[in-house]
Chain A
Amino acid sequence: MTTVNDTVFAGLTPLPEATGRAGFGGALRSEWTKIRSVKSTVWTLTAAVVIGVGISVLFSWGEASHSKESAAELAQRDLVQHSMFGIMLGQLVMVVFGALAVTTEYSTGMIRTSLAAQPRRLSVLFAKLAVVTLVSFVVGEVISFASFFIGNHFWATRGVTVGLGTHGALQAVIGGGLYLAGAALLAFGIGTALRHTAGTITLGVALLFVINIMANFMPSSWQDDIDKWLPANAGSQVWATQHTADTGTAFGAWSGFAVYMGYAVIALIVGLWVFKRRDA
């Protein structure tokens, strides 16, 4: 094994002179290294793509090959959103990704090592947030665009042409990726506040999924007021091409997305406060 001589760093190349201070650029590179260098986050993102696109394909194929509707009737439906149905499950995997990106720092104790290397906490948190945002956005867009294009292939077999030129399609497909990124950010915010993987995933899935099921059991007079505010319902408007905004029972594309992101922002603000103030 190594023996230590009089000078510990004798064999090492001297470090370059330090100028300036450790800042955001280094923090970004560090957080990117963290995301790509562990299996859990890499596999979660892979799973998001496989499940998101896979379920989309399954549903488009099913509808296109089994629906009794005529081409004209099919064309009346929101086929763009139908193509991307896998987002409904993909969002849950994105919740897992957003959670793991921060909670594993706590479950492993790595956070103490991270903050000993960069004690300016907001630098660490914002770098992590930026990397999670970018990665989940890119993966989200991959899922929505792949689902959309594969779906179009199935609609074409029924004689219905859907493309990016279809009314509202481009916005809805980009919106699909945004919606998925939002799910990751919601979980990231919750995870920063809770510091616990299982608790974060449970709460994230509850907010995006379980709460909708529960709403179904409420008196219908309440549902009209409450339904549109549920995170998934509000957020889903951004990946739809047909809206019922004018009836008052749903939000429009961007107003719905704003409500959806509002939940994520609230979680992120709570998380930021906890991250800054609480002992690591």
Chain B
Amino acid sequence: MIEAVGLSKRYGDKLAVDQLSFSVKPGQVTGFLGPNGAGKSTTMRMILGLDAPTSGTVTVNGKPFQQAAYPLREVGALLDAKAVHGGRSAYNHLLCLAQTNNLPKRRVDEVLALVGLGAVAKKRSKGFSLGMGQRLGIAAALLGDPKVLMFDEPVNGLDPEGILWIRNLMKALAAEGRTVFVSSHLMSEMEHTADHLIVIGRGRLVADCTVQEFIDNNSELSIRVRTPQLEQLGALLTAHGGGVRTDGEDALLVTKLGMSEIGDVAFDNQIRVHELSPIQASLEQAFMELTKDSVEYHAAVPAGKAA
């Protein structure tokens, strides 16, 4: 269980995290979603006490992380797989972490075997591939059999096999009743793993709901209507309260009206309809729609491509 209340972080005159309040519950995977620069990493760093909040508080299992009797038994975190001394072997890296929490040495061998790094335990992590580095970070997170797990963008740069492995791992950890908090800037990734979503943009909370609620609330059903009498039908549907946009040369995208209503309006006015099809906006679109005002760095849209 992670609970943040009014969490804020200011860097100079930039407010990276702004009055964020949320709770992350055990037994499910909670996705922490937001565009790049939204404040996800900063929030996770504040949970671990790496950064001090400008204001607000955050607790892990009821108390500030600094007060945890054995921190590695409370939280296992993978914030940055590169945050290791590359000159140290995988075994010694985990050993020096385990020792701080009085964890037995055999634990190091066991988690190395668990993540599939047993064969390279004595190798310096400098030579590890991205995926191996990620596995080493996960081994570190699992050392203390922690109640809470935090992963910051864990699938970045991984191959499909690695992505599948991490997804399954997170689900299994949550199924064991642990709290799993995982950040991503890709909605599609969360669609596959998360049960619950906390969405932020520019440091502010945008949504805190289940994945299904997020889909229902944010992905509007629209209907594509293909007709040779584009302007005529468009005007009529607008008059009937529909939201109308053109979609290419000969089609409309209509919201707020059902398919039968659209069909009836066309029939009553003797307008030919060549196609009538429902279009479900993807979660990715819903996410972009929701956070478009809060994306920090917009790419300029190339001329001529603008929708």
Contact = CB atoms under 8 A, between A and B. Distances in A.
Given A112-B83, A119-B66, A30 B144 contact: no
Contacts of A117: 71-72, 97, 100-101, 140
Contacts, number: 150
B96 A34 contact: yes
A40 interface: yes
Contacts of A119: 48-49, 65-66, 68, 71
B82 A109 contact: yes
A29 B83 CA distance: 20
Contacts of B176: 7-9
A11 interface: yes
B172 A5 contact: yes
Interface centre among A1, A8, A9, A117 (most CB of B within 10 A): A117
Interface string A103-136: 0110011111111111110001000000000000
A280 B50 contact: yes
A13 B103 CA distance: 12
Contacts of B237: none
Contact of A29 (B92, B99, B110, B145): B99
For chain A, which range describes its interface: under 10, 10 to 19, 20 to 34, or 35 or more residues?
35 or more
B104 interface: yes
B96 A112 contact: no
Contacts of A118: 71, 100-101
Contacts of A248: none
A112 B49 contact: no
Given A13-B106, A33-B96, A2 B101 contact: no
Contacts of B15: none
A27 interface: yes
Given A4-B168, A37-B89, A38-B87, A109 B80 contact: yes
Contact of B88 (A16, A38, A115, A116): A38
B139 to A, nearest CB: 11
A4 B165 contact: yes
Interface string A70-108: 000000000000000000000000000000000011001
A26 interface: yes
A26 B97 CA distance: 9
A15 B103 contact: yes
Interface string A10-34: 0111111010111001110111011
A39 interface: yes
Nearest to A5: B172
Given A2-B115, A118-B100, A119-B66, A15 B73 contact: yes
B190 interface: no
B24 interface: no
A104 B85 CA distance: 8
B102 interface: yes
Interface string A159-187: 00000000000000000000000000000
A11 B110 contact: yes
Contacts of A26: 99-102
Interface string B102-121: 11101100110111100000
Given A16-B104, A33-B95, A118-B71, A110 B83 contact: yes
B169 interface: yes
Contacts of A246: none
B96 A8 contact: no
A21 B69 contact: yes
Sorted from nearest, which 9 A-B pairs have the closest CB atoms? A109-B83, A37-B92, A21-B69, A30-B99, A33-B96, A2-B116, A279-B51, A29-B99, A38-B87
26 contacts: A2-B114, A4-B165, A8-B114, A8-B169, A8-B173, A12-B145, A13-B110, A15-B103, A15-B104, A16-B104, A22-B71, A33-B95, A33-B99, A108-B85, A108-B86, A109-B82, A111-B83, A114-B100, A115-B50, A116-B50, A119-B48, A119-B68, A120-B66, A279-B51, A280-B50, A280-B51
Given A118-B100, A119-B49, 9 more contacts: A2-B116, A8-B114, A18-B70, A22-B100, A39-B87, A115-B49, A116-B71, A119-B65, A124-B100
